[in-house]
Amino acid sequence: MREMRVERERERERNSNTMATQRRMSYINNSQTTTSQQIRPSIITWFIQRPYPIPFLLVIFLFLAWISLRTQHVSRTPPHSSHRDALANLVRFHSSHVAKDNRGWLFDPIALALDSGVSGGAVTCSSLHVGEIRPGKRRGNHRHHDCNETFLIWGAATRFRLENSRENDGYAEVTIGRDEIAVAASPVNTAHALVNIDSTRSIFFLGCQDNVINYNASSTDFNVWKDL
Ligand SMILES: *[C@@H]1O[C@H](CO)[C@@H](O)[C@H](O)[C@H]1NC(C)=O
Ligand SMILES: *[C@@H]1O[C@H](CO)[C@@H](O)[C@H](O)[C@H]1NC(C)=O
């Protein structure tokens, strides 16, 4: 009788030992799972282990490099000299330099042109044109015979071309940076063109003419330059 009880107690002890071992095992298993989750290959490792990862990565790298170069190309203020600006009858300002206060910029473009020594443009506005030029588009490329014109240009990287017989090509051309504001004057019988060379932004411009202009064939020559 006593032997049986002893035997039963031993059995219970063995059982509880087994359960403890199982618990320990399961704990170890759990912690192993956690560890293996932590060191599970990241998505990059997984990617590198794929067949042909290098050419694929190279293509992605080249694409990113191209994007970065393009962005830098556009946002960089292009090199210019005030000599070239004078040949294009233009004066430029960085937007932060013409800001009156923290609201932004405000000025009279006619007065600014005259104060900056840009002459030959309109000094009174009989006609006014305000416009947008989207990326890759152009306006102008014409010559008015019935007005002088003063331009205010801002908003995007812009190629501005003005007819100038003193230049070898017959014109002077400058690039206006996307954070610059330019005032330019195009005297009567002088061709002018604005080309948006920005990848994303629109050019905005104001054209002041000292005559009520008619865009007709006798008053304006159209498509002056074929290379624009
Ligand atoms: C243009 O400007 C000149 C002076 O620079 C002026 O003599 C002329 O009347 C202006 N207007 C036109 C339409 O030519
Ligand atoms: C063309 O424009 C000129 C100058 O503005 C004007 O004198 C002439 O009458 C216009 N011709 C036509 C056909 O509208």
Report the distance separating Cα 122 and Cα 111, nearest Å.
11
Question: What is the residue whose two structure tokens read 């009788």?
Answer: 1
User: Is residue 73 predicted with pLDDT exceeding 80?
Assistant: no
What are the residues whose beta carbons fall under 8 Å from the beta carbon of 213, sequence distance 6 or more? 127, 144, 146, 147, 219, 220
Q: Whose CA is nearest to atom 5 of ligand 2?
A: 214
Report the distance separating Cα 107 and Cα 183, nearest Å.
11
Report the distance separating Cα 79 and Cα 64, nearest Å.
25
The average pLDDT across 93-121 equals 90
pTM to 2 decimal places: 0.66
Q: Whose CA is nearest to atom 12 of ligand 2?
A: 216
Q: What is the pLDDT of residue 35?
A: 46
Q: Is the CB of 116 under 6 A from ligand 2?
A: no
Q: What is the pLDDT of residue 133?
A: 98
Lowest mean pLDDT among 18-27, 76-85, 169-178: 18-27
Q: Is the CB of 173 under 6 A from ligand 1?
A: no
- Give the total residue count for the chain: 228
User: What atom of ligand 2 comes closest to residue 212's alpha carbon?
Assistant: 5
Q: Which ligand is nearest to the CA of 190?
A: 1
Identify the helix (H) or strand (E) that includes residue 40. Answer: none
Convert the pLDDT of each residue in 160-213 to its tens digit: 999 999 999 999 999 999 999 999 999 999 999 999 999 999 999 999 999 998
Ligand 2 centroid to 2 CA: how many Å?
Answer: 130
Report the distance separating Cα 165 and Cα 102, nearest Å.
42
* The residue type at 134: R
User: What atom of ligand 1 comes closest to residue 120's alpha carbon?
Assistant: 5
User: What atom of ligand 1 comes closest to residue 188's alpha carbon?
Assistant: 14
Ligand 1 centroid to 146 CA: how many Å?
Answer: 9
Nearest by Cα to 151 from 103, 195, 86, 89: 89
Q: Is the CB of 219 under 6 A from ligand 2?
A: yes
User: What atom of ligand 2 comes closest to residue 217's alpha carbon?
Assistant: 1
Q: 3-state secondary structure string, 165-186?
A: CCCCCCEEEEEECCCEEEEEEE
